[in-house]
């Protein structure tokens, strides 16, 4: 079954519009009477039947609804945006397919980009939701200065992936069933001041392995490691 996104389904909004309408009606050529799936991004899985199609919307009727079970852990990655837009979009798409719960973009001293828009990244998250059928939409946060991010009341296990010798390996420090927050720096790594500040607010320095990874690769690896530890 092909799925579409309507975040207000639980509020009684039973129609697709804009991009979801275009995808359903114009691209996939769905017709009245066809069965479709609907995700609201909040953990509800709806089966529906198309009841009417106009020039701007596609109305559907719910035939079945199922509450999906949330994962017993929460995976949040805070990452420095790359200069190349395609690379950060790739990270968002793949990390969301893996079920990452939240992505924050942090402006660091060695950051390659100091401005970014999240609209396209949010669309990537919706696409990943439909592809993976996880039922839960990844939260995408706008760019924020790292020092401001670190001032937030962050709960759970907190890690900072850095390039230093003799650091504990990330997966060896992870605990299952926890909220995990992982900081991923830019290509030039975090500055000494940033590392010191993060450590002072409870972040633990860890290694992602012997290889020197690109920012987006490191972020994806961190997302996957948390899944593996939780046997997801």
Q: What is the pLDDT of residues 12-63, one digit of tens each?
A: 999 999 999 999 999 999 999 999 999 999 999 999 999 999 999 999 999 9
Answer whether residue 232 shows pLDDT above 80: no
| Homologous superfamily of 3-67 | Hypothetical PUA domain-like; domain 1 (2.40.240.20)
Residue 107's pLDDT band (boundaries 50, 70, 90)? very high
Helix/strand/coil for 192: helix
User: What number is the average pLDDT over the span 205-215?
Assistant: 93
Query: pLDDT (tens digit, 9 = 90+) per residue, 169-187?
Result: 999 999 999 999 999 999 8
Residue with structure tokens 């609907």?
Answer: 38
User: Is the CB of residue 33 less than 8 Å from the CB of residue 25?
Assistant: no
Percent of the chain predicted with pLDDT > 70 = 100
Q: Any idea where the domains of the chain sit in the sequence?
A: 3-67, 74-229
Provide the terminal-to-terminal Cα distance of the chain, rounded to the nearest Å. Answer: 23
CA distance 223 to 218: 9
What's the DSSP call for residue 211? S
pLDDT at 212 over 70: yes
pLDDT value at 7 more than 90:
yes
Tens digit of each residue's pLDDT (9 = 90 or more) over 117-155: 999 999 999 999 999 999 999 999 999 999 999 999 999
pLDDT at 114: 87
**What is d(CA 95, CA 165) in angstroms, rounded to the nearest whole number?**
27
Domain at 74-229, CATH homologous superfamily: SPOUT methyltransferase, trefoil knot domain (3.40.1280.10)
Q: Provide the token pair at 145.
A: 């200065």
Residue 112: per-residue pLDDT: 84
Tokens of 89: 């979009």
Residue-level pLDDT at 113: 87
Q: Which helix (H) or strand (E) holds 219?
A: helix 215-229
For residues 67-78, average pLDDT: 96
8 Å CB contact between 159 and 173:
yes
């Amino acid at each position: 079954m092909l799925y579409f996104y309507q975040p207000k389904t639980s509020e009684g909004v039973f129609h697709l519009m804009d991009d979801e309408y275009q995808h359903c009606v114009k691209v996939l050529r769905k017709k009245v009477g066809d069965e479709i799936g609907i995700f609201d991004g909040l953990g509800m899985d709806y089966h529906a039947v198309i009841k009417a199609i106009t020039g701007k919307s596609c109305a559907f009727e719910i035939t079945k609804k199922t509450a999906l079970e949330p994962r017993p852990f929460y995976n949040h990655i805070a990452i420095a945006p790359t200069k190349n837009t395609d690379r950060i979009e790739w990270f968002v798409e793949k990390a969301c397919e893996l079920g990452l719960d939240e992505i924050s973009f942090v402006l660091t001293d060695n950051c390659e980009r100091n401005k970014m828009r999240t609209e396209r990244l949010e669309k990537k998250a919706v696409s990943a939701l439909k592809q993976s059928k996880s039922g839960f939409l990844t939260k995408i946060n706008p760019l924020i200065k790292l020092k401001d991010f670190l001032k937030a009341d962050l709960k759970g296990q907190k890690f900072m992936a850095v390039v230093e010798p003799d650091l504990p390996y990330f997966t060896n420090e992870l605990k299952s069933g926890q909220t995990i927050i992982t900081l991923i720096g830019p290509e030039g790594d975090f500055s000494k001041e940033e590392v010191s500040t993060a450590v002072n607010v409870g972040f633990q320095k860890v290694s992602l392995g012997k290889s020197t990874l690109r920012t987006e690769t490191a972020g994806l690896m961190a997302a996957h490691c948390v899944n593996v530890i939780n046997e997801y």
